[in-house]
């Protein structure tokens, strides 16, 4: 069972907003909308399609790096999280070499 450390939640939100180079308020709004949408779907294809249609390679690598950072936030990557990052890299057309290098940053 995983527990969200509420004391660090604000710091995590701020870090991610800085990594994405957006205002914290904008990140919170985007996150809230994503949570609402995700309640109705477990499919990441529609999200990666939006990313692929609107982002260049550097932006996709940045998004993947953030996903890896979030997945590894508790220091433990379970099989579901590992599968998620593997699927995400494939759907974002990130090479195995690129994905492996990024994942190593968080080991």
Low pLDDT (below 70) residues in the chain:
1-10, 34-42
Go through the chain and tell me how many residues it has: 107
- In the prediction, which pLDDT does 59 show? 93
Asked whether the beta carbons of 71 and 99 are under 8 A apart, the reply is no
- In the prediction, which pLDDT does 52 show? 94
- In the prediction, which pLDDT does 88 show? 95
How far is Cα 100 from Cα 11, in angstroms, rounded to an integer? Answer: 27
DSSP one-letter string for 66-99:
HHHHHHTTTS---HHHHHHHHHHHHHTT--HHHH
How far is Cα 73 from Cα 85, in angstroms, rounded to an integer? Answer: 14
Question: How far are the Cα atoms of 42, 47, 64, 71, 87 from residue 100, in angstroms, in the given order?
Answer: 24, 22, 11, 14, 13
How far is Cα 105 from Cα 53, in angstroms, rounded to an integer? Answer: 27
């Amino acid at each position: 069972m995983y527990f969200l450390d509420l004391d660090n939640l604000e710091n995590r939100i701020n870090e991610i907003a800085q990594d994405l180079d957006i205002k914290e308020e904008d990140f919170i709004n985007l996150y809230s909308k994503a949570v609402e949408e995700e309640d109705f779907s477990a499919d990441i294809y529609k999200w990666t399609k939006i990313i692929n249609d609107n982002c260049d390679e550097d932006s996709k690598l940045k998004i993947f790096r953030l996903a890896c950072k979030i997945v590894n936030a508790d220091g433990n990557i379970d099989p579901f999280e590992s599968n998620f990052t593997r699927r995400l890299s494939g759907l974002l057309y990130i090479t195995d070499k690129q994905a492996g290098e990024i994942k190593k940053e968080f080991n």
